[in-house]
Amino acid sequence: MKNRILFLLASVLLLVAAGCNKKFLEDMKPYNSYGEDQVFSNETLAGWYIDRVYNYYFVNYRSPLQQVVGSYTTDRSQMTEELGGTVNKYTDPGRTLQLAKDADGYYGTTTSSINNNPYTRIRFCNDIIAKMDQPVTGNLSATFRQRAKGQMFFLRALQYFDLVRVYGGVPIVLTVQNASTSDPSIQIPRSKSSECFVQIVKDLDSAAALLPMKWEVPATDYGRLTAAGALAMKSRVLLTAASPLFNKDWDNTGSDKWQAALQAGLDAETKLTAAGYGLYGSTAKDWAQMTYAQTAAFNKEALMVFLFSTSQISSSGYNNGWENSVRPTDYKGSGNGISATKEMLDLFPLANGLRPTAANGYVDTFFFANRDPRFYRTFAFSGSKWGIKTNANKSTWFYRWKPSATGSPAYYGNNQTSSPAVVYKMSNPAADSTGYTYSNTSIFEYRYAELLLNIAECYAAKGDVGNALTYLGKIRARVGIPSANNYGIGTPADKYAAIEACLYERRIELAYEGKRFWDVQRWMLYDNTDNSGNSVTKLGLKPINGTSRNGYYWQAKTYVAKDPLSATDRNILIDPDASNFSTQIENLKAVYNKWFVMTPLDKPMDQVNNTPVTILFRPNYYLSGLGTSPLSSNPWLQQTIGWQDYSGGAGNFDYQQ
């Protein structure tokens, strides 16, 4: 391991983790002159080394839509209704993936160099865990060693959890191993998925026992992993293990897996509440502000939070790319913002909590009227107040006009969006338009609200509809939805309807936070399969397969050569916190009725080679097979059922065991 340690120490500058306070980013230290023994006998140097491991995990985490530790890409977010315009290899109906070379590359490749891949990160964790019990760390305080181990147990659990979510069972390696082509002791086979979940939970229990619920000095340590985060993560892990993807017995209300997940959630709720955690604020305005109102101090809703620098230091400043990506062209964003699909605009409840159906009074032409308070904090549409540092009352509009049937369209503000609304959530209205790239708005990877939703889902799966409604009510009450009719949810007829209500609430509360794909995956919602127990049908849902993501324009009713609206027409500032909010909504309706019509996109959002397509996610994609490199380098590893092995044979590893 010594050569790997020295590889880490050879950096000229210490790059600390995105999971740590931005102060770490500003305290750059050269430490290439230190040796391994010196590093692990000094708390400052050992702390820098631990921070470097955080860096390996989270350096690429710049947007809430990015997923899986280490690589952090948006591929999975692109496979749900949240984002249109990208058909990747897993949703392209023209592709069939089953060869090892087509498998997900997350597992890593075998090379002679040090790569930041999952088992490299696991090796670093294993090494530090072992070091903290060796004589070399004898000079370190007991508290330091305890917390060092706790952070590594947590990080190791995170890595194994993502490996299991991508591949199912994988080899469990808990000690530092030396690479060898002939040592049979390190030829570790794939463990069952259930065995991996046991180890992940064990690591999280160890982390919870060794870490503080809160770090004592937020100015330097806020954002580090905590016992609170470990307890909450245990709930997420066991919820995944209880879901249809890994649990053939999911439809049994007496399933031990649902009970274990419920108990983990309730235990976390009790301990976190005692430590001061909970839902942030009591209004929709608070809900909107939670990610930017506090950037370097304790936030009661943040169970796993990643903070960012406000400026680039050398080449190592960490920045949140979200602000730059959501701001449209006339806000000087990096593109046209993130166009809201029609599926998302038509998803959010009405103001009274009812589903947005025609029977309940919903009219999609006026998608912006009478909606759940969270709608106005998730999307920006024409006239919406969306401030910047120099103008708190700035707004923009999303419409276009054409001079003739065949003429080229023009867009207000050059906002060439594929929707009359864009994503606004987690944007800071005080962001500096000259430096969006270095927005320090936090990413809340795990919020207290998700924990409550986990508990609700477990109750629903166990057939306890009443308690499921109680926890869903907590989520809706916080943002001001009236309590009548169970906050608009009604009374689900059975456990299936209750589970669906929980999944629906997750789509709203956690929209654009990188959670939707995992819910779709663990409930196997692309279509009914032999392994899903007909979950789609039982929950009363429409399969995602065969659907598409759609957008449309607000387009001028008549052909005009110039902008049809005057400054007076656009003299609307829609602020959901203003006393005249309802009036402004009615004014916007009037402008729409006078000037605009819903018009289909020039080209569909979902297309391949300019041909419209619908989503097709094949059954073997829920868990990827292993790729060519790990199979060729480790011939003892089994390939996953539904995928072909290195020699072209059928895989036989059952991920549901």
For 109-150, give the secondary structure using H, E and C. CCCCCCCCCHHHHHHHHHHHHHHCCCHHHCCCCHHHHHHHHH
Q: What is the pLDDT of residue 9?
A: 35
DSSP string of 383-434, one letter each residue: TBB--BTTBTT-B----EE-SSSSSPPEEGGG---SSSEEE-TT--TT--TT
CB 551 within 8 A of CB 84: yes
Residue stretches of the chain with pLDDT short of 70: 1-34, 110-114, 180-182, 294-296, 309-318
Residue 561: CB atoms within 10 A of its CB come to: 11
Query: Of the candidates 24, 74, 75, which has an alpha carbon nearest to the alpha carbon of residue 51?
Result: 24
- Calculate the CA 530 to chain-centre distance: 28
Q: What is the pLDDT of residue 187?
A: 85
Query: Residue 406 phi/psi, 5° resolution?
Result: -105, 0
The three state secondary structure string of 183-240 is CHHHCCCCCCHHHHHHHHHHHHHHHHHHCCCCCCCHHHHCCCCCHHHHHHHHHHHHHH
Query: Of the candidates 461, 76, 71, 441, which has an alpha carbon nearest to the alpha carbon of residue 250?
Result: 461
153 by DSSP, 3-state: which?
A: helix
Query: Of the candidates 310, 295, 149, which has an alpha carbon nearest to the alpha carbon of residue 218?
Result: 295
Residue 506: CB atoms within 10 A of its CB come to: 22
Contacts of 573 (CB under 8 A, 6+ apart): 383, 385, 393, 395, 584
What value, to the nearest 5°, has the Cα angle with vertex 27 and ends 25 and 28? 85
- CB burial of 519-536 (b: ≥16 within 10 Å; e: otherwise) equals bbbbbbbbbbbebbbebb
Residue with the two structure tokens 């166990």: 462
Cα–Cα distance, 307 to 304 (Å, whole number): 10
CB 438 within 8 A of CB 319: yes
CB 149 within 8 A of CB 206: yes
Residue 60: CB atoms within 10 A of its CB come to: 17
505 by DSSP, 3-state: which?
A: helix
Rg of the chain, C-alpha, whole Å? 25
- Calculate the CA 16 to chain-centre distance: 22
Cα–Cα distance, 258 to 161 (Å, whole number): 18
Cα–Cα distance, 355 to 499 (Å, whole number): 16
546 by DSSP, 3-state: which?
A: coil
CB 219 within 8 A of CB 296: yes
Bridge partners (DSSP) listed for residue 439: 320
- Taken in order 48, 43, 225, 71, the sign of the CA dihedral is positive
CB 511 within 8 A of CB 425: yes
Cα–Cα distance, 168 to 44 (Å, whole number): 38
The pTM score is 0.94
Bridge partners (DSSP) listed for residue 554: 598
How do the domains of the chain map onto residue ranges? 322-439+552-600
